Amino acid sequence: INYTGAEANVAVSLSVMGEKTDFVTKMPDSDISACAIKMLKSYGVGIDNIVTGGDRLGLYYLERGASQRASKIIYDRKYSAISMARRDEFDWKKIFKDAGVFHFTGITAGLGGEMAEICIDACREAKKAGLLVTCDLNYRRALWSKDEARQVMGNLMPYVDVLICNEEDAACVFGMSADGSDIIAGKLNDQGYSELARKIKDVYGVPAVAFTLRTSISASDNDWAGMLFINDQSYFSRKYRIHLVDRVGGGDSFSAAVIYVLNNRFEPQKAIEFAVAASCLKQTIEMDFNLATVEEIERLMEGDGSGRVVR
Amino acid sequence: INYTGAEANVAVSLSVMGEKTDFVTKMPDSDISACAIKMLKSYGVGIDNIVTGGDRLGLYYLERGASQRASKIIYDRKYSAISMARRDEFDWKKIFKDAGVFHFTGITAGLGGEMAEICIDACREAKKAGLLVTCDLNYRRALWSKDEARQVMGNLMPYVDVLICNEEDAACVFGMSADGSDIIAGKLNDQGYSELARKIKDVYGVPAVAFTLRTSISASDNDWAGMLFINDQSYFSRKYRIHLVDRVGGGDSFSAAVIYVLNNRFEPQKAIEFAVAASCLKQTIEMDFNLATVEEIERLMEGDGSGRVVR
Amino acid sequence: INYTGAEANVAVSLSVMGEKTDFVTKMPDSDISACAIKMLKSYGVGIDNIVTGGDRLGLYYLERGASQRASKIIYDRKYSAISMARRDEFDWKKIFKDAGVFHFTGITAGLGGEMAEICIDACREAKKAGLLVTCDLNYRRALWSKDEARQVMGNLMPYVDVLICNEEDAACVFGMSADGSDIIAGKLNDQGYSELARKIKDVYGVPAVAFTLRTSISASDNDWAGMLFINDQSYFSRKYRIHLVDRVGGGDSFSAAVIYVLNNRFEPQKAIEFAVAASCLKQTIEMDFNLATVEEIERLMEGDGSGRVVR
Amino acid sequence: INYTGAEANVAVSLSVMGEKTDFVTKMPDSDISACAIKMLKSYGVGIDNIVTGGDRLGLYYLERGASQRASKIIYDRKYSAISMARRDEFDWKKIFKDAGVFHFTGITAGLGGEMAEICIDACREAKKAGLLVTCDLNYRRALWSKDEARQVMGNLMPYVDVLICNEEDAACVFGMSADGSDIIAGKLNDQGYSELARKIKDVYGVPAVAFTLRTSISASDNDWAGMLFINDQSYFSRKYRIHLVDRVGGGDSFSAAVIYVLNNRFEPQKAIEFAVAASCLKQTIEMDFNLATVEEIERLMEGDGSGRVVR
Amino acid sequence: INYTGAEANVAVSLSVMGEKTDFVTKMPDSDISACAIKMLKSYGVGIDNIVTGGDRLGLYYLERGASQRASKIIYDRKYSAISMARRDEFDWKKIFKDAGVFHFTGITAGLGGEMAEICIDACREAKKAGLLVTCDLNYRRALWSKDEARQVMGNLMPYVDVLICNEEDAACVFGMSADGSDIIAGKLNDQGYSELARKIKDVYGVPAVAFTLRTSISASDNDWAGMLFINDQSYFSRKYRIHLVDRVGGGDSFSAAVIYVLNNRFEPQKAIEFAVAASCLKQTIEMDFNLATVEEIERLMEGDGSGRVVR
Amino acid sequence: INYTGAEANVAVSLSVMGEKTDFVTKMPDSDISACAIKMLKSYGVGIDNIVTGGDRLGLYYLERGASQRASKIIYDRKYSAISMARRDEFDWKKIFKDAGVFHFTGITAGLGGEMAEICIDACREAKKAGLLVTCDLNYRRALWSKDEARQVMGNLMPYVDVLICNEEDAACVFGMSADGSDIIAGKLNDQGYSELARKIKDVYGVPAVAFTLRTSISASDNDWAGMLFINDQSYFSRKYRIHLVDRVGGGDSFSAAVIYVLNNRFEPQKAIEFAVAASCLKQTIEMDFNLATVEEIERLMEGDGSGRVVR
């Protein structure tokens, strides 16, 4: 049983990498929220912009899979404080003061109530304040239909500077796919991904797109790579065969690393290598948070994936 | 430390798949038996035909292996209530009222005392009552010699409609083997298995035989498949490479699935695919019971073994 | 958090294999030492030659790695009783009475203070008493520089009958490497290892050398083999692909098995097969100690690495 | 984190005592509900009248207190399936077929929505079907105000044959108190409780009232007794000083035992002794369920509270 | 689940106190026995006189009680190797070489088969070899009837130098009780115990008797004291009110301490104070073994039972 | 195994009560320190003034006592970074900027090396900066002799505004005791404590003294009270009988509460009641930190120590 969410995972990851972060959400005034906040504080995530109110904190139950048995997540997020939040509860001008990047995910936009509008408010204000806007497409069929997602996310895209997604999300939300790829069969087509990124740019005006490229050998073993499309060019990372410890939070750690490399102005090739190495390490760590430091990520990037004991 | 047995595993598996089951055994009147019965009830297994009496419940100790280290089972089943049961304690006519299938294993027949005769009694009465009789050959060298097993199991075969076994059991009990196979070296020969099934049918008159086909890559990774010989034809399933979580109970879950597909009149090819998928999932689950539902088994059969998170 | 050390691991391994062992060290007079001694006693390791005194027992913290995430060991061994021991605290003549083999590692020699001299004292006395001297090179960069290690270990080599090491240790301490091997890339060159052993013999006069040959597929999966150079000939073992449970203590279990085969006069080929099988099994067992018995090691050597359940 | 409720606790307790029970509620169609149902089945509680539907199962978080630190329960029950159930979802005529007793608590009546009316429906139908109706007053300030509780519970009292409550509940809901008692100071006045029961009978027409009488020495140690008012007479039990293991569920186990003694026609004095002994034992058992058997309860009643080991 | 027994507990206790001990029993040749032996070795108990053979090691299941809920022990000791041992398997002459004390309990004598005769053999040989014989009466109703116990134990008493028992054992086995005591009501009568000891001496010729005097406040809190009758005089210890952690093994630790004080020639008053303090500490320690050292026992005896933290 | 210290406990307690705190110490640059810092951050304790350097973090091992068995702490703090810190590593002027209270303990002053002088430096600078200085006398015999403690602490007293101690500390360090008290026998004499406080004031010039008054019923149950001597008057609190969960950290939570009441200008009687209630609650909570909030402390103070469940 856990209560973290995609954006919290990103914030913690970034804090561990040494970046200053602030987590914006709404939580009820309860001891359970206090636990969640204590955890965020322990990682140094700012919590001053969390709105207090509402009835409950969303939860989920995770049954970890293995081999042919897939992991299973059961959500108990209905009626959560954030899903019932109102537009006037967030003072974005104040929140974005001194900020550099605004990150949000399609999960938040899809929670219903006023959340889609709240995301638009935030994006509009972020652009006004000169922030870089990053978005993880993150489609969840339990939240909304593909049509609903397409409409809401379509309206948000004009504000997004860097879109993060995988092939499945893009297919569900935008109805676009990478020709020649078949994730279940484990076949990925590089050319197809380049074209997919270009299509997203052409249709939605998103200048940069970062893809995670996962091929499942089994629920225990996955291949993991990434692609960054930027300045009209595609950069593919090396591929890792991961013996999974916990894949939940893998995408979020990728988002965090993408924000890190943008903030630290990495070259595109090094940027995608870093983001993939970071999220590879996350998947060898239990629970949702990526506890890998920049030093550990760079050690993996630079080739020592041999797993020799570090003494 | 655990007290389940092969037939209990089959009964629980079938209950989880939605079938009505009833577990027949003998247990002492003790709090330990009460625990075992509570567990059976929680899965909906019928317990009204369990005979009360005797001194102790059989136990076993399991040390789970990994990689090159094999799992190890130490039995403490001597003097168990069931092994000292008497023929007149089971009223098979009453037990089989309204039943459709009777399943037993070679372990039970090999417990000594009157157990071999009790198995004959049950089989004879089951056939009279028009039940389908299924038997898992399950040879255990700690219980009896190959010769003893051959004699007792040979006497039971005439009543058996569907025999479930692996190559090793067949070799030990019947002295027959699949030509060209070498389990330890990981080589299986399809043709050999077809002939082996036919030979069993010819010699013992068993109309249908279901084989589990395991090849060990290591104690951590196994290939897993199956073959169903029925109506003089052999049907081979697809093969799964399983990263094992717990292989104990794998054969029992296969038996349960075979009974399920017989009861639900699956086509032979679909039948063996289902049985192999079911028992593949069992081996990704801790402890002896297969908790996989029909829906989950069918999802695996239909190809989504990618282990994507189910949300 | 743990307090075992390389030599303790070797002693426990040898005791489990049925050899009489005695562990020499210095420990403070504390309840923590009492725990450590109780553990040694439970395995039958002799503890009568442990010197009491000093302030603390060395500790280390282990974070177990997985897949691309390397294991991490943080030492808290500074100011430990053994590292501050004095030469006059060990009466080697008395200690070696009735002994057959003296084993030590480069870790002990590198602890600083008088430890290098204590090792020389012990070696000199061991040779006088007619013992076989075995040494695991075991270079730890946290303890000393390559230059310091070369000087101290170089002075100890003349006493050593069998040197145990891996390619990395040899490179760091002796500045010699096996041509054509690249551990991180997983490439080993048999010819190179033979030459490396010969070079060690020529330069340092060590008559026999045993190499562990590890190639890392990932932090979860390693290939594991060994080579024994003796009487001017090289013997290579078969190679195991290990799905690692705990690699810490793998080298120590190899040392223990080398001592076992020397003591029991195995033929060279059988000797290296035994040592590699023993240390393969260790790496499938949690914690530092190899709990595998001679019977289990021989079962693996003789080919049954299939991981079938032992009942 | 737990999901049981007062009525489920009563049903499980009664099942453990050997009574046939059936639990009526509404639960969503989810794996979490499946867990809850499996648990009920393991104790033999009937689950055929559970309505499926709604969004979530209510939860609560318990922090167990000790000594001066009180236990703390945080509810996350808002929007639970049962609290949003509709009157037409329960077919009381069918539910009460063959039943002998209907038990409900003030918690259920106070969940809001249509629950108060559903309780009235059930009570009316129960009386028509000739059932005995028992009610645990169980006031929870987090659910409703005293005024709301008084109105709803007042309307339900005419149907109630046996009311179960403590002094605090009676004060909150009916505004009546036992003169001369001061729970916090640990003073109870027998005469006051007799008069309080009589007052409840006079005002609300409830023929029988069972009180639990708890005096807190600390959060770790409580005195526990009970009183049964029936046929215009008061019967007080002996008092137990309990070193608490888990007091949650104590009241529910008392209710279960009251139903048991009514069903088995105990004499009033023996009846209240049994109910108090049963609920005393519950408070020495972890978690909400009373696992004490009738035999264990009677052994305590008959004086052997010495805690000698039962071998 | 545990496999220790009364005599093993005594041996471990004595070893912890620094005495040389040796444990005589019969165990099957199994990994479970190996675990038990490893545990004995870790405490320094001699294991060279353990006979190997038989089918199983006896087990018991313990449910720890609390407050009014008594602890519950379920034995699974039938058909254990020791209970089926034969007289000719123990070479008492060899076993008692260099020994000073022989200790046994009524449990062992009551296991059936040849065990009563084996106890006689041992006692006779012990006396011949000049050993002190101590016996813990330890009546278990699950093993034998009072009449059987009286006959067997009566035959053993002539060999016993010091008998250890409690009032309940004496009543069950000898049919003698301490006038004026009522254990369940928590009343003990000193005068009665003196007379009881004298009666045992007169009837059975046992020169010294040590009583444990337990009065149960509840399953959580007991008063604990002792009495030593020696040289025709009675010595009573101070009384401890113990908040029980685990009372199983309390009697055995008392026996061990009695043997210790005899061996170390304590004055009678100091002797009984030591034995009671030792067994008081045992009951504050989890599991069957008394891990308290002589120093810790003496610190308690000398009055510092305040529980101030020892730093 | 734990690494917290007295001052860290005080800082966490104060943070939980809502005060702004900052923890000053020296820690090595290691992952273990990082863990400790993460924990401090999770409670909101400021960590910007922690000096990095040295070899190791001090540790201690705690064995929790029960009933007559005292808790036992084994320190492994020798050679810790803080004990080897140098005077010039702490810039007290900067540290005390904007601070209101400086708190330290006798443990810190007694660590040896330059720590006594560092304490003097800090005190002198604190007074210059106008801070209130509080000191917990906290004598540890493992650190220094009574004479050494008297000299060092005597030199520090002139700077101390409020001294916190118990009778035993005062006796060890100052050689002064409260006449007529006998802690071990559980007798405290109010008059004696008033005089003791006055004597401390007269001799050392400390204007205010806060005493914790513990009387041990057993290691499981203690009476707990306090006395505040201020403005030449003594204020005694009510007394709590605590069923201990964990007494380690009790004194530190008392210090924290004393600082809290000083900072929030409570009346003397309310101040001592608050400090005693706070530290009473600590002792019902596992581990060193007092997690009780001001609201919970006040609820206990105001009399509701009944342990009714808070819902």
Q: Find chain C residues with C-beta within 8 A of A310's C-beta.
A: 70-73
Q: Which of residues 240-279 of F touch D (CB under 8 A)?
A: 240-245, 277
| pLDDT at residue number C220 | 85
Whether E and A touch (3+ CB pairs < 8 Å), yes or no: no
pLDDT(F250) > 70: yes
Chain E residue numbers touching C43 (CB-CB < 8 A):
38, 41
CB contact under 8 A, D38 and B43: yes
> In C114-124, which positions are buried (b, 16+ CB within 10 angstroms) versus exposed (e)?
bbbebbbebbe
For residue B215, the chain C residue with the least C-alpha distance is C306
Question: What's the per-residue H, E or C state across C35-64?
Answer: HHHHHHHHCCCECCCCEECCCECCEEEEEC
Per-residue model confidence (pLDDT) at position E179: 75
Q: Model confidence over C286-299: pLDDT tens digits?
A: 888 999 999 999 99
- Prediction ipTM score: 0.84
Question: Which residues lie below 8 Å from residue C19, measured CB to CB, with a gap of 6+?
Answer: C259, C260, C263
Contact B46/D at CB under 8 A: no
Low-confidence ranges of chain B (pLDDT < 50): none
pLDDT of res. A213: 95
Whether C179 has a pLDDT exceeding 80, the answer reads no
F43–chain A Cβ distance below 8 A for any pair: yes
Res D311 pLDDT > 80? no
**pLDDT at B176 (0 to 100):** 92
Under DSSP, the state recorded for E253 is H
| Element at C195 (helix H, strand E) | helix C190-204
Residues of B in contact with D41 (CB under 8 A): 41-44
Report pLDDT digits (tens) over E253-269.
999 999 999 999 999 99
Residues D41, B44: C-beta atoms closer than 8 Å: yes
Q: Tell me the average pLDDT across A299-306.
A: 76
The answer for F 112-141 residues in CB contact with E (under 8 A) is 140-141
> In terms of residues, how long is chain A?
311
**What integer pLDDT is reported at residue E302 of this predicted model?**
86
d(CA D22, CA D44): 9
The answer to whether the Cβ–Cβ distance between D281 and E222 falls below 8 Å is no
User: Tell me: the pLDDT tens digits for C114-127?
Assistant: 999 999 999 999 99
Q: Please state, in angstroms and rounded to a whole number, the distance separating the CA atoms of residues A160 and F175.
A: 73
Assess whether pLDDT exceeds 70 at residue F311.
no
pLDDT grade for D23, boundaries at 50, 70 and 90: very high
**pLDDT of amino acid C137:** 97
Which residue in chain D has the smallest CA separation from A61? D32
Residue with the two structure tokens 């010969």: C198
- Hey, is the C-beta of F295 within 8 angstroms of any chain D C-beta? no
Give tens-digit pLDDT for E223-264. 999 999 999 999 999 999 999 998 889 999 999 999 999 999
Above 60 in pLDDT, residue A241?
yes
Output the average pLDDT for chain E.
Answer: 92
Give the 3-state secondary structure of residue D211.
strand
Bridge-based pairing state of the strands B26-27 and B51-52: parallel
Nearest residue in C to B247, CA atom: C309
Q: CB-based contacts of E53: which residues, under 8 Å, 6+ apart? A: E26, E28, E29, E81, E85, E89
- pLDDT above 90 for A220: no
pTM equals 0.89
Instruction: Place C180 in a pLDDT band, splitting at 50, 70 and 90.
Output: low
Q: What is the pLDDT of residue D180?
A: 67
Rounded mean pLDDT of C100-104? Answer: 98
3-class secondary-structure state, position B302:
coil
Tens digit of each residue's pLDDT (9 = 90 or more) over E113-131: 999 999 999 999 999 999 9
pLDDT value for F188: 66
Q: Copy the structure tokens of residue D150.
A: 């008084």
User: How close, in Å, is residue C32 to chain F by CA atoms?
Assistant: 8
Cβ pair C42:E42 closer than 8 A: yes
Q: Which residue has better confidence, C68 or C8?
A: C8
3-state secondary structure of D132: strand
Question: Can you state the angle between helices D268-282 and D294-301, rounded to 10 degrees?
Answer: 110
Q: In the structure, do chain B and chain F come into contact, i.e. share 3 or more CB pairs under 8 Å?
A: no
pLDDT score, position B66: 86
What part of F 216-245 touches D (C-beta under 8 Å)?
240-245
**B222, containing H or E segment:** strand B221-230
Which one-letter DSSP state was computed for residue D89? G
Kindly state the helix (H) or strand (E) to which residue C132 belongs, with its residue range: strand C132-136
Predicted confidence (pLDDT) at residue C232 exceeds the cutoff of 70: yes
The residue among B90, B10, B83 whose CA lies nearest residue B43 is B10
Q: How much is the pLDDT for E304?
A: 60
Tokens 């005694």 found at: F236
Asked whether E250 and E272 are in contact (CB, 8 A), the reply is no
Pick from E243, E277, E296: CB nearest F221: E243
Q: For D272, which DSSP code?
A: H
CB distance F42–A42 less than 8 Å?
A: yes
What pLDDT digit, counting tens, does each position of D189-213 carry?
888 999 999 999 999 999 999 999 9
d(CA D28, CA D52): 5
pLDDT of residue B174: 95
A39 to chain F: which residues are within 8 Å by CB? 42
- Which residue in E69, E184, E222 is closest to D284 by CB distance? E69
Q: Closest Cα partner for C285 from C238, C237, C249?
A: C249
Q: What percent of chain D has pLDDT over 70?
A: 95
3-state DSSP: chain C helix, strand, coil percent, rounded to 5? Answer: 40, 20, 40
Closest chain D residue to E220 measured between Cα atoms? D243
Is the per-residue pLDDT at A200 higher than 80? yes
* Dihedral sign (CA D199, D205, D210, D216): negative
Q: SS3 string of chain F?
A: CECCCHHHHHHHHHHHCCCCCECCCEECCCHHHHHHHHHHHHCCCECCCCEECCCCCCEEEEECCECCECCEEEEECCCCCHHHCCHHHCCHHHHHCCCCEEEEEHHHHCCCCCHHHHHHHHHHHHHHCCCEEEEECCCCCCCCCHHHHHHHHHHHHHHCCEEEEEHHHHHHHHCCCCCCCECCCCECCHHHHHHHHHHHHHHHCCCEEEEEEEEECCCCEEEEEEEEEECCEEEECCCEEEECCCCCCHHHHHHHHHHHHHHCCCCHHHHHHHHHHHHHHHCCCCCCCCCCCHHHHHHHHCCCCCCCCEC
User: Would the CB atoms of C69 and A310 count as touching at under 8 Å?
Assistant: no
For chain F, give the mean pLDDT. Answer: 92
Assess contact for C115 and C85: CB atoms under 8 A: yes
**What is the distance, to the nearest Å, from the Cα of residue E1 to the centroid of all Cα atoms in its chain?**
20
CA–CA dist D309, E252 (Å, integer): 15
3-state secondary structure string across chain A: CECCCHHHHHHHHHHHCCCCCECCCEECCCHHHHHHHHHHHHCCCECCCCEECCCCCCEEEEECCECCECCEEEEECCCCCHHHCCHHHCCHHHHHCCCCEEEEEHHHHCCCCCHHHHHHHHHHHHHHCCCEEEEECCCCCCCCCHHHHHHHHHHHHHHCCEEEECHHHHHHHHCCCCCCCECCCCECCHHHHHHHHHHHHHHHCCCEEEEEEEEECCCCEEEEEEEEEECCEEEECCCEEEECCCCCCHHHHHHHHHHHHHHCCCCHHHHHHHHHHHHHHHCCCCCCCCCCCHHHHHHHHCCCCCCCCEC
**Up-side HSE of residue D284: CA atoms within 13 Å toward CB?**
30
List, in sequence order, every residue forming a beta bridge with F69; answer none if it has no partner: F66
Interface of D with B in 168-187 (CB under 8 A): none
Q: Nearest C-alpha of chain C: how many angstroms from E40?
A: 8
Please give the Cα distance from F114 to A167 (Å, whole number): 63
Residue D35 contacts A where some CB pair is shorter than 8 Å: no
Bridge partners (DSSP) listed for residue C69: C66
DSSP E159: G
Cα–Cα distance for residue pair A262/A281, rounded to 1 Å: 20
Q: What share of chain E is helix, strand, coil (3-state, %, to 5)?
A: 40, 20, 40
| Separation of alpha carbons E19 and F213, rounded Å | 41
Instruction: State whether residue C2 sits within 8 Å of chain A by CB.
Output: no
Mean pLDDT of all residues in C204-231: 93
Q: What is the mean predicted confidence (pLDDT) over E272-282?
A: 97
Residue numbers in F near D186 (CB within 8 A): 306
In a 3-state reduction of DSSP, which class is residue B44? coil
Q: The tokens of B286 are what?
A: 């801790």
Half-sphere exposure of E38 (CA within 13 A, CB side): 14
Nearest to D279 by CA among D303, D304, D267, D296: D296
β-pair type (E132-136, E101-105):
parallel
C309 and chain B: CB distance < 8 Å anywhere?
yes
Give A218's pLDDT tier (boundaries 50, 70, 90): confident
d(CA F234, CA F200): 13
State the smallest CA–CA distance between residue F169 and chain E in angstroms.
Answer: 13
Q: What is the pLDDT of residue E307?
A: 58
Q: Does A59 touch chain B (CB under 8 A)?
A: no
Is C78 near chain F, with CB under 8 Å? Answer: yes
- DSSP-derived letter for residue C248 is T
User: Can you give the pLDDT at residue A285?
Assistant: 92
Over residues C218-229, the mean pLDDT reads 91
Task: Give the model confidence (pLDDT) of F171-217 as tens digits.
Answer: 999 999 887 665 555 566 888 999 999 999 999 999 999 999 998 88
Q: What is the mean pLDDT of chain A?
A: 92
What's the CA gap between C43 and C164, in Å, rounded? 24
Sequence-distant (≥ 6) Cβ neighbours of residue A80 within 8 angstroms: A54, A56, A57, A58, A111
Residues 6+ apart with CB under 8 A from A2: A59, A60, A62, A287, A288
